Structure 1
Amino acid sequence: MRDFALAPPTVSPLACGLADSIFDAAAVDPTRPMLARRPTLSSAWDELTAAEVRDEVVDLAKGLVASRISPGHRVAIMARTRYEWTLLSYALWTVGAEVVPIYPTSSRDQVEWVLRDAGCVAVVVEDEQAVMTVGSVCGSLPLLRHVWQLDAGALNDLRERGRFIPLATVESLRRIVLPDSTAAISYTSGTTGRALGCALSHRNLASACDTLLSGWGHTVIPPGEQQASVLAFLPFSHVYGLLVQTLCIRGGMVMAHEPDMSEDALSASLCSFRPTYLCAVPSLLEKIYKNFLRVAQEAGRGALFERAADTARDFAAALERQRLGGGSGPGFDLRLQHALFERTVYRKLRAAIGGRVMRATSGGSPLSRELTLFYEGIGIYVNDGYGLTEAAGGVTAQPLGRELSGTVGQALPGNEIAVAEDGEILVRGPSVFQGYINADAATHGVLRGGWLATGDLGRIDAQGYLTITGRKKDIIVTSSGKNVAPAALEQRLRMHPLIHQAVVVGDNRPCVGALITLDPKFLAYWRGSLSLQSDMPSREAREENALREEIGRAVAAANSAVSRSESIRVFRVLPEQFDMSNGLMTPSMKLRRDAIVRHYAFEIDAMYQARTRAPRQPVPDELSSWDESDNVFR
């Protein structure tokens, strides 16, 4: 092992099951708000107290008992992030059952695999379409006894069924749930091969949450307020979403649910619920930034926004140097500029996401240093951390008062991280999972002497800060034998407002290439802003040339961060997005690289063939310094 970081001691170990959080909260302060919901999209948010949530959970737990759901039984929840998901998961944990999250967008084959592999005795779905999907695979699922449909009144049916079950029965079941009992079977995203079911105990899920709440909990409450609030929109079918839910319930934060992750729905919910804390992924934070820029440009204030953004980053970088002992903080001129932009720009940006968000967490993949500094500079510090399904979602966090943008922080107290000779990150601690179900060989392959081999690549500096550099399975090896980690290049490409997604390719090819998709809204604005006057055919050709040059500049900017042998020499802009509907993105918003390479094999071949046989085309000045630069546009 090359690098090593050991965190300070952890918090007191869990002594019960996760469901006790709700019962304890109701006993201590029954009137404290716990969840928020709204009957319709246009309705106001109604808050439910801890006592009301506990009673709802008890009623559902009685219904589960009446339906012969027993400790150790596995019940799948195949639904979006909604109020009922939280009630059902805690009701299942109350009776000692195990939750098996399934993405509601999963295909028929994926649903069948998870239900059969986990041996589920029941499944909760949202609508008739999901009922039909489950019904089509029931013949291969002999253990499946119940299919409950939320939109058909399943919860009311369960409550009615459990009316005659004594409370003492539920209480006795809750008290025999042990910390090391399995709480959830969370399936990996399946970017390659069959998804594997990770067995996570109650202790696994609570460990990172309790550590974060102990050390960072006070930072999520705005000054002068008693309680933080979180809008949960990340899928609970992913371990990050489960982590958010557990944090809110154990930490006493008011949690609302937004099942629709579309831009319009999410924006409306942020502005109506007005959370104080934001739990997000890099793609969302990138999108918010680009929307800020696009709206400013459409209003003729693009230059003003860019000056404000630069000032925000400079201000945050100066604060960072100060807190790390490398500077005296922002100078007078910078503080004056920042104060001006606070009155004219920054508070308006914060208002666009509700106006009350003080801090945020980013997870799922690393957030660029530039974006972290931007958000800190406008008044929203983003804690970029690291976790994975096999470690219950939480491994590192930024140390308070010594945050370092561009890294994912240091090991959480109680966790150990190390970097092996090949650059792979290893993790040891209380959040590491129990193993993959029905897959002993796979379990032994990642658990090595108490260490979890994560499959992620990174490095640890002398102060224990971890930087993620990529995934082992994503490393590209060119025909000349050069190893290239694509993550940094892709991250820099996405910083350009026109670029929505980027996938770097080049395995067994003479150089590195990139497949690029464009942001539709920004592209429309960009086209409208061009001052081209001519007949239509000529205008279209000039417009495409201008777009090619603009993307070329984005590629050159990305190349500036790597060596020449790692630089992108060819690229192709694709006409469609990578998304779940075409099978090129997982429900947790990760790109399926292998599927993308297979799907666009013809385009990739054509891209490289054009490089070797096509006449040389003029390229932007920024690209001219790179050997044999080519750009291929579709």
Structure 2
Amino acid sequence: MNVLSEIMAQALHTPDAPAVVQLAADCTAPEAVALTYRQLVAQAQRLASVLIDDTPAAGQVGLVMGNSVEWVVADLASMLAARVEVPVPLAFSVDQARHLLQGCALVLVDEAGERTLDMWRCAGLRLSAAVRSVSVVNEPAPGRVSTPAACAATDSVIKVIHTSGTTSRPKGVKIRRDGLGALVEALWQRARRDDYQRYLVLVPLSLLIEQVTALYMPLTSGGAVLLPAPSLAPLGSPGVIAEDRLDLIRQARPTAMTLTPALVEAIARRVETLGAIERIEGLFGTPRLPLLAAGGGPVDVEVLLRLQRAGIDVFQGYGLSENSSVATWNFRGANRVGSVGQALPHVTLRLGADGELLLRSSSLFAGYTNEDPSSCALDDEGWLHTGDLARIDADGFVSIIGRKKTMIITGNGRNVSPEWLEAAYRQVPGVEQAIVYGDRQAFMGGVFIIDAQADPADVGAAIAAFARTHLNEIEQIAQPLLIPRSEEAMRRLFTVTGRPRRDQVPAFLNDCTARIRA
């Protein structure tokens, strides 16, 4: 599949259907069609002409944008112009932004991006690339939609997606045009054509998985991309918690969403407050249950089972940017709770001798822009060594049990996978996030980010009670460090996608000790 060709064909077929819908900040206010398919293509073609004139062939174009209509237009324009898109997360530091933008010939910004760029400049960022502000106007777009020559181009790198490494220089993953198409085509073999008619964007569009599920799945099937009000920061932003977006979900009436683990847990807690008759409509604003996918980290099995008993299926999946995102996924008729599903049709899996998950597929990346100790190896036979430890059952369902490089080996020689243990501890009322540690130590330790309004003594007692009931002695944390949620703590200890910054824990603990002594 050629994603660009499919979007253009959809615009020819339904030119006046909504492509991008802007939701209002006021839940009672009506939504607005920001762009029809005809308008989206016209705006993207106009911007593509600028990119062709102002940047070299196959040059890099930086996107410093929030979750805006402009982001959608800029993404499509980059494809039309055959330029390499470099999305820059607004939550990145100035050093990370400098690393991403240094190779760009042009930087595109929206209003949120301009504010962020100004902040980075004040912190010392110097750009050699020109900066162009993108502004989208909802206006009539006369004429027919035409298919550009770029749709027939040979396979090439179309994006560089930066993922967190072990240094301040995120590693750049080079995404191929044909690899992206292979992935989207495979996902459509696991979904219905009407699933993505209204997709609600909840996490930053700078994340590859959200580009795939929020843009390419809806726009290749005539669906609409639902954008929250610009005043609502995406999940993962400092100060934003999952419960804050439950009202938005009900307002938006989505037919599909990709959920973070924290949002799955928030929905499970809300379910308990709703009666059986009103449950689906109370959560999603419509009697129709949306297609709910989940990824980015493990979700506790008991949470998924509680939702399933309530009639709400959540389909966990697994992926990584090196495979253009998704590699395995549960789906209707094949949903094994606790697993991350079976391989997508274009993916082949096997386990290494040490239990590492290896995969081959037609959506693999074209290499890195820079190496990092966390980089995945691609061997001579084309197997990607993911770095994840897994089990594969007789039916092909995959369970991720940990990371090779994050596996904790205690001072007593016991192996503990931190990911699933952290997911378990997040079930304790008042616990929002957790990072466990204990490599070469006699006992496990943990930093727990707790609800700022909760009583730490109550949360500590709940953690102890939970551990006694559900965990073995090795996994119990006798002296957890409880930290009320704050922007500073979240920024230091977690990435924008909610992944723990494990390398920052020692310095964080030292700072906490110093403050106590002072």
Under a length normalisation based on structure 1, what TM-score does the superposition of the two structures give? Answer: 0.72
Amino acid at match of 1:351: G
C-alpha change, 1:409 and 1:98, in structure 2 (3 Å) is same
Q: Which residue of 1 aligns with 2:481?
A: 572
Offset at residue 193 of structure 1 (A)? 5.4
Offset at residue 576 of structure 1 (A)? 3.9
C-alpha change, 1:474 and 1:417, in structure 2 (3 Å) is same
Q: Which residue of 2 aligns with 1:147?
A: 131
Residue deviations 1:482-511 (CA, integer Å, cap 9, x gap)? 221112221111112221111111112112
Amino acid at match of 1:353: F
Q: Which residue of 2 aligns with 1:267?
A: 246
Amino acid at match of 2:59: H
Once the two structures are superposed, the pairs formed by residues 472-487 of structure 1 within 5 Å of their partners are 472-487=404-419
Aligned-partner SS, 1:385: strand
Amino acid at match of 2:15: P
Q: Which residue of 1 aligns with 2:284?
A: 353
Offset at residue 465 of structure 1 (A)? 0.7
- Aligned partners of 2:421 and 2:475 also within 8 Å: no
C-alpha change, 1:183 and 1:547, in structure 2 (3 Å) is closer
Q: Which residue of 46, 51, 57 corresponds with 2:32? A: 46
Once the two structures are superposed, the pairs formed by residues 68-79 of structure 1 within 5 Å of their partners are 68-79=54-65
Q: Which residue of 2 aligns with 1:59?
A: 46
Distance 1:577 1:555 in 2: 25
Question: What are the ranges of 5 or more consecutive residues in structure 2 without an aligned counterpart?
Answer: 235-239
C-alpha change, 1:268 and 1:19, in structure 2 (3 Å) is same
- 2:159 aligned with 1:184: yes
- Aligned partners of 1:96 and 1:173 also within 8 Å: no
Residue deviations 1:29-74 (CA, integer Å, cap 9, x gap)? 32333221257657422234322222222222233334x2343111
Question: What are the ranges of 5 or more consecutive residues in structure 1 without an aligned counterpart?
Answer: 1-13, 222-226, 297-304, 306-340, 528-542, 608-634
Residue deviations 1:328-348 (CA, integer Å, cap 9, x gap)? xxxxxxxxxxxxx523xxx23
C-alpha change, 1:358 and 1:585, in structure 2 (3 Å) is same
Distance 2:351 2:168 in 1: 26
Q: Which residue of 2 aligns with 1:3?
A: none
Once the two structures are superposed, the pairs formed by residues 527-538 of structure 1 within 5 Å of their partners are none
Amino acid at match of 2:165: G
Once the two structures are superposed, the pairs formed by residues 414-453 of structure 1 within 5 Å of their partners are 414-439=346-371, 445-453=377-385
Distance 1:552 1:519 in 2: 17
- 2:173 aligned with 1:198: yes
Task: Give the stretch that moved more between structures: 498-507 or 207-216.
Answer: 207-216
- 2:201 aligned with 1:232: yes
Once the two structures are superposed, the pairs formed by residues 197-596 of structure 1 within 5 Å of their partners are 197-218=172-193, 221=195, 228-244=197-213, 245-258=215-228, 260-261=233-234, 262=240, 266-293=245-272, 296=273, 342-343=276-277, 347-348=278-279, 350-355=281-286, 356-439=288-371, 445-520=377-452, 523=454, 544=457, 546-559=458-471, 562=472, 564-577=473-486, 582-596=491-505
Structure showing greater radius of gyration is 1
Distance 1:519 1:90 in 2: 40
C-alpha change, 1:509 and 1:183, in structure 2 (3 Å) is same
Distance 2:109 2:208 in 1: 18
Identity %: 25
C-alpha change, 1:69 and 1:19, in structure 2 (3 Å) is farther
- Aligned partners of 1:455 and 1:471 also within 8 Å: yes
Offset at residue 438 of structure 1 (A)? 4.2
Offset at residue 84 of structure 1 (A)? 1.3
C-alpha change, 1:390 and 1:279, in structure 2 (3 Å) is same
- Aligned partners of 2:452 and 2:484 also within 8 Å: no
The root-mean-square deviation of aligned C-alpha atoms, in Å, is 3.2
Offset at residue 397 of structure 1 (A)? 1.2
- Aligned partners of 2:106 and 2:132 also within 8 Å: no
Amino acid at match of 2:246: S
Distance 1:440 1:581 in 2: 24
Task: Give the stretch that moved more between structures: 97-106 or 250-259.
Answer: 250-259
C-alpha change, 1:184 and 1:479, in structure 2 (3 Å) is same
C-alpha change, 1:278 and 1:436, in structure 2 (3 Å) is same
Aligned-partner SS, 1:242: helix
- Aligned partners of 1:125 and 1:147 also within 8 Å: no
Aligned-partner SS, 1:251: coil
Q: Which has the higher strand share?
A: 2
C-alpha change, 1:442 and 1:551, in structure 2 (3 Å) is closer
- Aligned partners of 1:578 and 1:584 also within 8 Å: no
Offset at residue 367 of structure 1 (A)? 2.0
- Aligned partners of 1:191 and 1:586 also within 8 Å: no
C-alpha change, 1:191 and 1:353, in structure 2 (3 Å) is farther
